[in-house]
Amino acid sequence: SKMLYNDQIMERDNNINIEDRAYQFGDGVYEVIGVYDGTPLMMDEHMERLERSARELRLNLPLPVSEIKNNLEKLVDVNELEEGIIYMQVSRGIASREHAFPEPGTQAVTIAYTREETRQSDLEDKGGTAVLTEDIRWLRCDIKTLNLLPNVMAKQKAVENNSVEAILHRGDIVTEASASNVFIVKNGELYTHPADNYILNGITRKSIIQLCNELNIKVNEQTYTVDELLSADEVFISATKQDIIPILKVDDQMIGDGKPGKITHKILKSFRSLYQ
């Protein structure tokens, strides 16, 4: 399959430069966009978030996001991708290694590729388990940067415990998970951490909140504690392409009756109608 390198679609080969700042500092931003039936879902929202992440890091995007979007859509077409994801990142560019920003005029480097991925509808229907782990990330988790080591360590802990996710907490407060947002249901209402600097404002999270408005399910964007998580009626996580996964157990604590919850199922059904 083909990749995007800056604004060129080319063969996917080893054209990575060892002095790309993405390598040396994780100095860049990224997006993962879901593709359903050949169409990227919520592309404009992803491009808006990309623009914001770049702005917060004072990284000049090489092209207006409208053109980046066109290039990504072209890549999906060329690769004839039906089901899967687009991975894209923009680094601050290629320069001799110095921590501070490179010379003005250094070109940012954009790369993107697509990956076929079948739907995980089984996991979405049946749910999975999660582990808890301390959130040791920096205080700008709202920026989708390439620096993902704390997320990598957390997710590995989940995998080693046969879990789908690691749910992060800062002290008592649940923030999000290693690569997804977390919602709890209590007495028919949803709770999720507010979209501040402690979490990534997920595109899936945002569309769930919109759907809940239409479904007349109240969503409280407010913090909740680890105890409240463990005693919730339902718990689910949300992320691009994984959509919504019910969490049936956290560490050793069963959630509700240990089965995917009714409200979670209702939201999942309505989320699926966005692309089916």
Which are the catalytic amino acids? 144
- Min separation Cβ 56 and ligand PDD, Å: 15
Stretch that binds ligand PDD, among 58-66, 70-78, 172-180, 247-255 (CB under 6 A): 172-180
Residue nearest ligand PDD, CB atom distance: 202
Which SS3 state, helix, strand or coil, does residue 82 take? coil
> Nearest CA to 62 among 21, 5, 8, 6?
6
- Token look-up 């997710």 returns 155
Is 179 a binding residue for ligand PDD by CB under 6 A? The answer is: yes
**Neighbour tally for 180: CB within 10 Å:** 26
Residues between 29 and 48 that touch ligand PDD (CB under 6 A): 32
Residue 33 contacts residue 43 (beta carbons within 8 Å): yes
Is 202 a binding residue for ligand PDD by CB under 6 A? The answer is: yes
- Min separation Cβ 195 and ligand PDD, Å: 10
- Min separation Cβ 196 and ligand PDD, Å: 13
Is 239 a binding residue for ligand PDD by CB under 6 A? The answer is: yes
Q: Which is nearer to ligand PDD, 95 or 226 (CB)?
A: 226
Which SS3 state, helix, strand or coil, does residue 224 take? coil
Q: Binding residue for ligand PDD (CB under 6 A) from 20, 135, 165, 176?
A: 176
- Min separation Cβ 144 and ligand PDD, Å: 7
Q: Binding residue for ligand PDD (CB under 6 A) from 53, 181, 192, 270?
A: 181
- Min separation Cβ 197 and ligand PDD, Å: 13
For residues 103 and 63, give the distance between their C-alpha atoms in angstroms, rounded to a whole number. 19
Q: Which is nearer to ligand PDD, 42 or 263 (CB)?
A: 42
Q: Which is nearer to ligand PDD, 115 or 259 (CB)?
A: 115
Compute CA distances 223 → 104, 137, 184, 202, 251, whole Å.
41, 17, 11, 16, 20
> Nearest CA to 31 among 57, 58, 69, 83?
69
- Min separation Cβ 47 and ligand PDD, Å: 12
Q: How far is CA 156 from the centre of its chain?
A: 17
Is 200 a binding residue for ligand PDD by CB under 6 A? The answer is: yes
Q: Which is nearer to ligand PDD, 91 or 240 (CB)?
A: 240
> Which residues in 69-84 are b (16+ Cβ under 10 Å) and which e?
bebbeebbeebebeeb
**Bridging pattern class, strands 181-186 and 219-221:** unpaired
For residues 164 and 117, give the distance between their C-alpha atoms in angstroms, rounded to a whole number. 17
Stretch that binds ligand PDD, among 14-22, 53-61, 176-184, 262-270 (CB under 6 A): 176-184
Q: Which is nearer to ligand PDD, 5 or 30 (CB)?
A: 30
Residue 95 contacts residue 102 (beta carbons within 8 Å): yes
For residues 157 and 60, give the distance between their C-alpha atoms in angstroms, rounded to a whole number. 35
Contacts with ligand PDD by CB under 6 A lie at: 32, 151, 176, 179-181, 200, 202-205, 238-240
